[in-house]
Amino acid sequence: MTATLPPLFVSHGSPMIALEPGDAGRFMQRLGRTLDAGWGRPKAVLAVSAHTTAHDAVLLGGARHQAIYDFGGFPPALYQLRYDAPGDPALAASIGESLGLQAIDHGGLDHGIWTALRFLYPEADVPVVPLALTPEASPTQLMALGGRLGALSRQGVLILATGSITHNLRLLMRPAPGGQRPGEDAPEMPESAAFRAWFAQRSAARDWAALADYRQQAPGAVLMHPTDEHLLPWYVAAGAGGRDDAPLRLHAGVTFGCLGMDAYGFGPEAARLAALLDAQPAALPA
C-alpha cells in the first residue's frame, strides 16, 4: 500500500442516491475501484458526516455498525437496504487516546456515511470509525482537527468526509416552469453554479483564508448553505490533507438544479488519484 491515502470529501445528496446512483453514485463506484487499484484496501475508514453530530468530537467505537435510516417519507425499498460493516474499537480507542477525544461503545452509520460506502466498498468489509462532527465549530477549528487526524492517512486509514457542496433543501420546493417542482435534471441555478465555481477556484489557489471565510466571501453562500453542517466535513478532510497541496475537485455535478454533488481529494496523493480516476473505465451499473 502507498504510504499516504488521500483524504476525501464526497457529496451524498438525497438518501435516494442509494437506489438511484446518478452521476455521483457512478463516480463513487469508480472512486472505490481506483482506490483499490492504487492503494489497496484501507485498514479502516474514519468517517465524518453532516448527520452524526455532537457538542464535542466523539468517536463511535462500536464493534459493529448498521445502516441508520435517519430520514422519512421515502419509498419502502430504501429502508430495506442494509450496510452491516465492522467497527474497530481498538482503533477508535487509539485515536481517542492520542488526540484526547472520547471513544464510546456505540455503533451505527448515518445515511451520509452508508450511502457513500455502499458505492466505495459494497462488500462492507472495511472497518468504519465514525467521528461525530461538531457543527458549532468554525471551518478554521475543523481544519485544525483534521490536521491532527492527518497522520492516520499515512497509516492506512481512509479519511472520508461526507456532506454536500451546496445544501438548501427549501430550494427543492421552488416552482419550476409549468408549476411543478424541479426535477433531478433541472438546469442549475446561477447561484449554485457561482458558489461551486468559487469554491473550486479558491481551492485550486490554496486560498485557505477565503475558504474558511466562505460565508462572507463566496457568492450566494447563505442561500446555498442556510446552515453550515453539510459543508463543514469538507474542512476536516482538507485539514487532514494539509495546506501544502491544493484541494482538487475530483467530480463536479448537481441534482435538482441546486444540490451540488462535487467531490474533492486532499493532500499529496490527490493529484495521483485524479490521474488514476481519469484512466478508469466508466463505472458498472449500480
What whole-number distance in Å separates Cα of residue 150 and Cα of residue 181? 42
The predicted structure's pLDDT at residue 281: 66
What whole-number distance in Å separates Cα of residue 137 and Cα of residue 214? 14
Question: Is 41 a member of any domain?
Answer: yes
SS3 130: strand
pLDDT in tens, 217-270: 999 999 999 999 999 999 999 999 999 999 999 999 999 999 999 999 999 999
Please state the φ and ψ torsions of residue 265, each to the nearest 5 degrees.
-120, 150
- pLDDT category, 285, cuts 50, 70, 90? very low
The predicted structure's pLDDT at residue 227: 94
pLDDT in tens, 166-188: 999 888 777 666 666 777 888 99
pLDDT in tens, 127-169: 999 999 999 999 999 999 999 999 999 999 999 999 999 999 8
The predicted structure's pLDDT at residue 182: 73
Question: Is 2 a member of any domain?
Answer: no
Q: Are 142 and 235 in contact (CB under 8 A)?
A: yes
C-alpha radius of gyration, the chain, whole number = 18
The predicted structure's pLDDT at residue 169: 87
pLDDT in tens, 2-25: 569 999 999 998 899 999 999 999
Look at residues 252, 203, 232 and name the one whose alpha carbon lies nearest to residue 52. 232
C-alpha cell recorded at residue 198: 468559487
Question: Is 284 a member of any domain?
Answer: no
Question: Is 1 a member of any domain?
Answer: no
| Domain ranges, residue 208 | 8-279
Question: Is 3 a member of any domain?
Answer: no
Q: Which residues contact 133 (CB under 8 A, 6 or more apart)?
A: 48, 49, 50, 52, 53, 54, 57, 142, 229, 232, 233, 236
pTM given for the model: 0.94
The predicted structure's pLDDT at residue 176: 63
The predicted structure's pLDDT at residue 286: 42
What is the average pLDDT value for the chain, to the nearest integer? 93
Look at residues 34, 8, 28, 46 and name the one whose alpha carbon lies nearest to residue 118. 28
CATH code of 193's domain: 3.40.830.10
The predicted structure's pLDDT at residue 282: 60
Length of the chain as a residue count: 286
DSSP 3: S
**Whether the predicted pLDDT of 36 surpasses 70:** yes
The count of structural domains within the chain is 1
Question: In this prediction, what percent of the chain has a pLDDT beyond 90?
Answer: 87
Please state the φ and ψ torsions of residue 226, each to the nearest 5 degrees.
-55, -30
Question: Is 286 a member of any domain?
Answer: no
Question: Is 60 a member of any domain?
Answer: yes
The predicted structure's pLDDT at residue 177: 61
What whole-number distance in Å separates Cα of residue 280 and Cα of residue 112? 25
Question: Is 134 a member of any domain?
Answer: yes
Q: Are 248 and 264 in contact (CB under 8 A)?
A: yes
